[in-house]
Chains A and B, each alone.
Chain A
Amino acid sequence: MPYIIAVYDVDADRTHLFLKLFRRYLTHIQNSVLEGFITDGRLQRLRGEIEALLEPHESVLIYEVSSEDYVDRTVFGTDPKADDTFL
């Protein structure tokens, strides 16, 4: 299952649309940055939703890591993602 980092750079008055989309799949880490595990099927669906939402001059980047083993995260300060299934 891929681990992805998504970042977006869009019009200021449209950021909430992207945040809203990504929040359904991933954990919000910082302004315009989200990450998390996602299944291949859901990633494909997410790609489609991004395409549909995007305006010509805007961009979204998805960094995909093929396996959990390759994720080496160093966090300075508090980790917004720690234990996100226990609330």
Chain B
Amino acid sequence: MNDNFHVFSDGRIERTDDTIRLVREDGEKQYLPIERAEAIYLHGQVDYNTRLVSFLNEQGIAMHVFGWNDYYAGSIMPKRGQTSGQTVVAQVRAYDDPDHRLTIAKRFVDGSIHNMRANVSYYHNRDHDFTTALDTLDDRQAAIDDATDVNELMGVEAGARRAYYATFDDILPDDFAFRGRTYNPPDNETNSLISYANSLVYANTVSAIRATALDPTVSYLHEPGERRYSLSLDIADIFKPILADRVIFRLLNRRQLSTDDFESDLNGCLLTDDGRETFTRALEETLDQTVHHPTLDRNVSYQYLLRLEAYKLKKHLLTGEEYVPLRRWW
């Protein structure tokens, strides 16, 4: 069991008795069983010290910090448990070979467009007519093969994403008008929710990559060398429609989140603490959900699918076995 622990309270987390505990501002203490933890997500205002950080490092547990604007503030990563020079060399070689890089990048876009299409098609089969959007997505999917460099491929992906986002205004309730993607900071409720959702998917992907010997900074679709773990951006794109967007549609359409869960102060719109908690719970439930995996012939959780994606990529790099991105099959 590899649980994500989410700290929404304000207070302090510390190392005690070889495990971790949270001391709330009112002095109430709660223990986190360290052996169960995969990662700790800090959403509240939380103090910690170097003793905690070295303990987390020893235990191989990541701590992801969420703040303002687009929510993700950074991660405190443990030292690598898995190291393999071979993997890193193979990873960098593949990046440095324009053809190889493009081949891998195309797979990421293929998975991503396929999974966006699965969402649109789901609502198309219910009570919407998304023929145009579906056509555009098919068209963009077909255009992947013709892309001659990564920039062009990014353009294909952006075109698909625009068509995809255009369906949101129809799928979502009227009081959640979307009108296209904005960020830094998001300017309305839906954009804010997407930013928050994506940042959680991103952080989960960072944890999944960490379980392999892959270097999270060497990426294929996104340009590496920025401050972020860009390989996580590559892989998270495949999962955003499955994890983030589906949960958003569900929560908004079932009115589990309302406009009261957002505050439009300053120059943007942000989720309230309650809103974040509601979304995070729903996402965690989704991560725990399982589907039957046809090649493994057993049930695997969505969380594990993230890790499988990293394993598949690593295997491709080391053995040359074809990398097939996750395409929603259920």
Contact = CB atoms under 8 A, between A and B. Distances in A.
Interface in A36-68: 36-39, 42
15 contacts: A1-B1, A20-B19, A23-B19, A23-B33, A24-B18, A24-B34, A25-B33, A28-B31, A36-B33, A42-B35, A86-B5, A86-B280, A86-B281, A87-B6, A87-B9
B12 to A, nearest CB: 12
B6 A24 contact: no
Interface of A: 1, 19-20, 23-28, 36-39, 42, 84-87
A20 B35 CA distance: 12
A38 B6 CA distance: 19
A37 B1 contact: yes
B19 A24 contact: yes
Contact of A85 (B4, B9, B18, B34): B4
Contacts of B318: none
Given A25-B35, A25-B36, A39-B1, A86 B19 contact: no
B8 interface: yes
A37 B4 CA distance: 14
Interface in B2-33: 3-9, 17-19, 22, 30-33
B284 interface: yes
Contacts of B281: 86
Contacts of A37: 1, 36
A86 B6 contact: yes
Given A37-B1, A38-B1, A86-B281, A23 B8 contact: no
Given A23-B17, A23-B19, A36-B36, A85 B31 contact: no
B223 interface: no
B187 interface: no
B221 to A, nearest CB: 32
Given A23-B33, A24-B33, A86-B6, 12 more contacts: A1-B1, A23-B19, A25-B33, A25-B36, A36-B33, A38-B36, A42-B35, A85-B3, A85-B5, A86-B277, A87-B5, A87-B9
Contacts of B31: 23, 27-28
Contacts of B35: 24-25, 38, 42
Nearest to A21: B18
Interface string B34-59: 11100000000000000000000000
Contacts of B3: 85
A38 B3 CA distance: 11
A49 to B, nearest CB: 11
B1 A87 contact: no
A42 B36 CA distance: 9
Contact of B17 (A20, A25, A26): A20
Contacts of B284: 85
A42 B3 CA distance: 14
Interface in B280-297: 280-281, 284
A85 B31 CA distance: 10
A38 B17 CA distance: 19
Contact of A27 (B18, B33, B34): B33
A69 B7 CA distance: 28
Contact of B33 (A19, A26, A39, A87): A26
B33 to A, nearest CB: 5
Q: Which of A19, A24, A38, A84 has the most CB of B within 10 A?
A: A24
